[in-house]
Structure 1
Amino acid sequence: MLQAQTAKLPRLVTVGGAITEIVYALGAEAQLVGTDTTSLYPLAAQNTPKVGYMRSLSAEGLLALKPDAVIGTTEAGPPVVMAQLRSAGVKVDLIASDHSWAEVQRKLQAVGRGAGRETQARALQARLDADWAVTQQVVAQFKGRKPKVLFILSHSATVQVAGEKTAADAMLRFIGAQNVMVGFNGYRPMTAEAMAAAAPDLILTSTQGIEAQGGLDKFWSRPELALTPAFKTKALVHLDALELLGFGPRMPATVRALHQRIVLA
């Protein structure tokens, strides 16, 4: 009977690591027939059929998996592929990313709808909303000096810093830190002049970025970083990219942990 019930549930393809993570959090992983290459957590998600990178999907590859629904963010594309899926009768639900707690809620609700598990999604959201409220209270209680933090994106040869209206900027605000890169939106290449002017106390980056640069020693060997106060003490915190910037169900715990490590340290 249980197998029959499971078979009737919608077949899902998820595009975005946080959305895949929510599927597992709702216990709906048996409904997954495909995920994108950013879907790496939990570990079991790495063994799901992969449909490619979220921005360069193929309609043929997706339709071959016979999904009932594709759930992703508005980064999923290209748009013509999303249109082809809808024309083929696949439900496509794309969630806007605005780097807010409401974004996490929208993802939860979309997965609940798409997976046919709205009751479970409401229960999970209630728990996470309560956890987020506690997290906000913890951060708000700190009345000391906000540390000056620089977020570095270094997954490729071009190392960039995070300005305003980025996921990194939002996370820094949520943990109670100060983003030293203001006055521009998005990401820009890191320059010596900018590093000297910004004078960050600490650098925040992803673990994958450290690995892409060849390890911590290689990361710190960049001459631009030698101009910062953070360099003198090698003040750096790194975290898995999905946990750090994914805006998924681990977000309340991640914000509390970073607040402890960066602001209260």
Structure 2
Amino acid sequence: MKKLILVASMLIAVYSCKKADAKSENNTEVTASSEAPKTSNKIVTLSGGITEIVSALGHESEIVGTDVTSTYPESLKATAKDLGHVRSMTIEPIMAVNPTLILASDKDINPELLGKIQSSGIQTEIFNQEYSVEGTKKLIEQVAKAIGNTDYQKLNNKIDEDMKQVQPIAKKPKVLFIYARGNNLMVAGKNTPMEKLIGLAGGENAINDFEDFKPLTPEAVVKANPDVLFFFTSGLQGAGGNEGVLKMPGVSQTNAGKNKNIIAMDGGLVSSFGPRLGEAVAGLNKLLIESAK
């Protein structure tokens, strides 16, 4: 009887040790019943794409602060603090939410903020974001590993599946993306997320003589002579809809203006280059095909 009790005690002790060993670094406990590892991280995400990745991996509840571009999922509005835009953000709002992990893209973040984040003592990961399918898949893998989650391949597989819906376009339409916010009108040049998205969707960026974004001018619109004008949905609404766009100086002289080829998509979807990239590309591809009819 004493031997049986001794054996049972030893088995309980071994089981307890194995359970304790299931906890890995970053306070992660792997459980068979959960979709994502449970962690005690308090995460600040400073990129819409990174925010989407963390959420899609099942860690949305750990996000305590985001940047202004993090508009998806909408449920984050009720649980995570909006810290502003990384171009003008300061360190104080970030420190106020007491994060244990900061995840950011190397794009747009102001150097002063980056320096203060890196000297704060808080665990920080700065990712090089490439605006391509492979770059996005690489980012998903890197973010997943940073938060202690290895179950990221399903997100990359979803991108591949969505990209299969993209249809070839015989004659590439020239697409001009216009960022409209209030009286601020900007057009996308080379090496912007919008240029890359347009290319993936089978179109051609209408402006190739400068990089980044520049203010919209009538001369630039006429010179670019786009076949399609592309807006964020919110931007098109703010510009007065299709009628308002057609009244913009120079637009009526372009192929897009003459044919009233104006399209719009959700800004968070098309600009984040996150897990929904394939969905964004396929959606834009469909709109470009329809506009050519």
TM-score (norm 1): 0.86
Does the aligned pair in 2 maintain the 1:73–1:95 contact within 8 Å? Answer: yes
Distance 2:262 2:244 in 1: 13
Q: Residue 102 of structure 1 aligns with which residue?
A: 134
Where in structure 2 are the equivalents of 1:182-221 lying within 5 Å?
A: 182-221=208-247
Q: 1:165 aligns with which of 191, 197, 202?
A: 191
Tell me which structure has the larger Cα radius of gyration.
2
Unaligned runs of 5+ in 2: 1-18, 20-27, 30-36
Does the aligned pair in 2 maintain the 1:10–1:114 contact within 8 Å? Answer: no
Distance 2:154 2:115 in 1: 32
Partner deviation per Cα, 1:7-64 (whole Å, 9 max, x = no partner): 7432211011121111221111111111122211111022222222222223222122
User: Are 1:263 and 2:293 matched, yes or no?
Assistant: no
The offset of 1:218, in angstroms, is 2.1
Comparing 69-78 and 9-18, the one that deviates more: 69-78
Does the aligned pair in 2 maintain the 1:17–1:242 contact within 8 Å? Answer: yes
- CA RMSD after TM alignment: 2.4
How many residue pairs are counted as aligned between the two chains? 257
Q: Percent identity?
A: 28
Q: 1:130 aligns with which of 137, 148, 160?
A: 160
The aligned amino acid for 1:107 is L
Unaligned runs of 5+ in 1: none
SS in structure 2 of the partner of residue 145 of structure 1: coil
Distance 1:245 1:120 in 2: 24
The offset of 1:78, in angstroms, is 3.1
Q: 2:47 aligns with which of 16, 20, 23?
A: 16
Q: Residue 117 of structure 2 aligns with which residue?
A: 85
Does the aligned pair in 1 maintain the 2:169–2:202 contact within 8 Å? Answer: no
Does the aligned pair in 2 maintain the 1:164–1:185 contact within 8 Å? Answer: yes
The offset of 1:99, in angstroms, is 1.6
SS in structure 1 of the partner of residue 151 of structure 2: helix
Comparing 237-246 and 79-88, the one that deviates more: 79-88
Q: Residue 245 of structure 1 aligns with which residue?
A: 271
SS in structure 1 of the partner of residue 126 of structure 2: strand
TM-score (norm 2): 0.78
The aligned amino acid for 2:164 is V
The offset of 1:143, in angstroms, is 5.7
Distance 1:187 1:160 in 2: 6
Distance 1:155 1:96, change over 3 A: farther
Distance 1:26 1:64, change over 3 A: same
Distance 2:88 2:145 in 1: 25
Partner deviation per Cα, 1:186-212 (whole Å, 9 max, x = no partner): 223333333333322211111122133
Q: Residue 73 of structure 1 aligns with which residue?
A: 105
SS in structure 2 of the partner of residue 204 of structure 1: strand
Partner deviation per Cα, 1:149-197 (whole Å, 9 max, x = no partner): 2211222424222222111111111111122212222223333333333
Distance 1:103 1:212, change over 3 A: farther
SS in structure 2 of the partner of residue 45 of structure 1: helix
Does the aligned pair in 2 maintain the 1:150–1:162 contact within 8 Å? Answer: yes
Distance 1:143 1:113, change over 3 A: closer
Distance 2:54 2:110 in 1: 23
Q: 2:81 aligns with which of 49, 54, 60?
A: 49
